Structure 1
Amino acid sequence: MKWSEISIHTTQEAIEPISYILHEAGASGVVIEDPTDLVKEWDVKFGEIYELNPDDYPEEGVVIKAYLPVTSFLGETVDNIKENINNLLQYEIDLGYNTVQLSEVNEEEWATAWKKYYHPVKISERITIVPTWEEYKPVNSDEIIIELDPGMAFGTGTHPTTIMCIRALEQAVTKGAHVIDVGTGSGVLSIAAEKLGAGKVDAYDLDEVAVKSAAINIKLNKSQKVVTVKQNNLLNNIEGQVDIIVANLLAEIILRFVDDAAAKVKQGGLFITSGIIKSKKDLIKDSLIQAAFDVEEILQMEDWVAIIARKK
């Protein structure tokens, strides 16, 4: 099969929404080429860092790459991708150069391109994310391994927003806790919650492809007895209250259901949010406070923020 590599030159701020647009268009995942990775000081206390090749990165901005099968509908798909990216301007998201390029690759090159970007990543004291094709031996007896295949689901667990959510869950999840994961994507946060001791996890995503991919990853990690994944729009029509709600989504989407989250979290329960670009931190913080949450902690990694808020 022939594949087309779509390459979008944009900004850090636009990574999450453009990645989602590509996923909606049929891409199985994305590759991020960010030149700041070459010069920043890496947090090496959790695991090794793999050597990066400067030739793979743009001089400025970021390049997002994804792979689409070459079909008679490819031109229409690419036009829709461009239109949806341009629509992000209404949310005041900086698109930078916003250039789109296409190149053809064969299936073997496509597979190799994926695998060279993904290795086991130890993202916290206890949790390591391992691609399914990599062999990995736990370093510690209490280490938690989450297996993911970046080629079959949106979200590899290594983006700063996901890492912060998992670290927040590591602090927050108590044995038997009931957790809701809003916008589950690959299911990585739900899997992490289960492995940290949650007694029940409800994973929701509006996208049917994400629901199917999350279900595969949940089964792969033997988490299906605790984690249930369903198609749903945010917290619409969800009954009852839970101990923790976690949502790794765009700030604009989080704003839509802050009040619903306040209604669905038990008194003293937690709402963990991420996917928030640093410039919108105060907007989300103020919204949480108005919805009767106390902001307990704000985490920051690169240009991204995660907020841990407790219901009064």
Structure 2
Amino acid sequence: MKNTLRLDILAREEDIDRITGVLTLCVTFGWEEESLPTGETRFRVHCDQPGFMRDLQSRITGCAPEAQCLLEELEEQDWLAAWRQFFTPVCCGSRFVVLPPWLAQSPDFPGRTHLLIEPKSAFGTGHHATTALCLKVLSDLLDQGRLLPGQSFLDLGTGSGVLGIACCKSGLAGLGLDIDPLAVDNALENRLLNAADGFEPSLGSMEAVAGRTFDLVVANILARPLIELAPAIAAACKPGGSLILSGLLEIQADGVEAAYQAQGLPVARRARQGEWCALVWQQL
């Protein structure tokens, strides 16, 4: 099989902005980004062009000499076949189960709302704790009657669209925003799979909804953008509405919560799974 290359970049917090700038300029086809329990961030780029990858590695080490870079050659796989082996059903909270399309008719989860997700590059299959936490909190708010059919939602960083689809299948209607065009395409595909007509994925960030407010705002992104977008996200919550912030390590939660308390929000409730944490405000 044809080989491909993978560049792993392990970055300290103080180097993240510089590395993100280089990746934004050079890697137009996208990259992976993961917050680690150590507080560092791992960036991962795949490409089959050795010259491009060596040049990218040189640029990264030039702007961030302390970053650890590892360039490896990998044998390409049938990614869809690999996903099918990996993608098992995930039950989240009391209400939801995330399923791949080939298990759409499974009788194994009676009473649960099926969320069908075509596994592609977009984030959000329920396997990661941050997505599972959001679905559990959403399930809890619905069980408590704090979210009701007919209300509106905003799903920021929609990825695969799984959270927006869960909201829509629970009777809400709203928007899913993402800055990655591939994620928006995947969310649109999953909207069709789920017949979630009240869910509208589109390209953009908070500027796309300036001046609008929602009964529920859920943002499953990263700590840095959650802090930077705190004024806009807080302003998008209706009085009496709910806010869910995820994508956080427990060690990052205090800093993010402080940014929202600075916008006038009270102390958040915390939902935890392993080292991951979600911040929850209900009836703001």
| Alignment CA distance shift 1:185-1:143 (3 Å) | same
Find out whether 1:76 has 2:46 as its counterpart: no
- The farther-off stretch of 150-159 and 210-219 is 150-159
Q: Secondary structure at the match of 2:225?
A: helix
Aligned residues: 266
Q: Which amino acid aligns with 1:295?
A: V
Find out whether 1:289 has 2:267 as its counterpart: no
State the identity as a percent: 25
Alignment of 1:218-257 (within 5 A): 218-223=191-196, 225-257=197-229
- In 2, Cα distance between equivalents of 1:86 and 1:112: 38
**5+ residue gaps in structure 2?**
142-146
Deviations 1:128-182 (A, max 9, x none): 1112234652435421111112225333221101111111112233211100011
- In 2, Cα distance between equivalents of 1:81 and 1:195: 44
Q: Answer whether contact 1:147 1:221 (CA < 8 A) is retained.
A: yes
Find out whether 1:102 has 2:73 as its counterpart: yes
Q: Answer whether contact 1:273 1:308 (CA < 8 A) is retained.
A: yes
Q: Which amino acid aligns with 1:187?
A: G
Find out whether 1:123 has 2:92 as its counterpart: yes
| Alignment CA distance shift 1:240-1:192 (3 Å) | same
- In 1, Cα distance between equivalents of 2:210 and 2:113: 30
Q: Which amino acid aligns with 1:99?
A: L
Q: Answer whether contact 1:262 1:311 (CA < 8 A) is retained.
A: no
- In 2, Cα distance between equivalents of 1:115 and 1:85: 36
Give the deviation of 1:104 after TM superposition: 2.5
Give the deviation of 1:305 after TM superposition: 0.8
| Alignment CA distance shift 1:285-1:101 (3 Å) | same
Q: Answer whether contact 2:97 2:109 (CA < 8 A) is retained.
A: no
Two-structure CA RMSD over aligned residues (Å): 3.8
Find out whether 1:213 has 2:186 as its counterpart: yes
| Structure 1 equivalent of residue 144 of structure 2 | none
| Structure 2 equivalent of residue 155 of structure 1 | 124
Give the deviation of 1:253 after TM superposition: 0.3
Give the deviation of 1:252 after TM superposition: 0.6
TM-score (norm 1): 0.71
Alignment of 1:1-312 (within 5 A): 2=2, 4=4, 6=6, 8=8, 26=29, 68=47, 70=48, 73=49, 75-76=51-52, 79-80=55-56, 98-105=69-76, 108=78, 110-134=79-103, 137-172=106-141, 173-198=147-172, 200-223=173-196, 225-310=197-282, 312=284
- In 2, Cα distance between equivalents of 1:111 and 1:292: 46
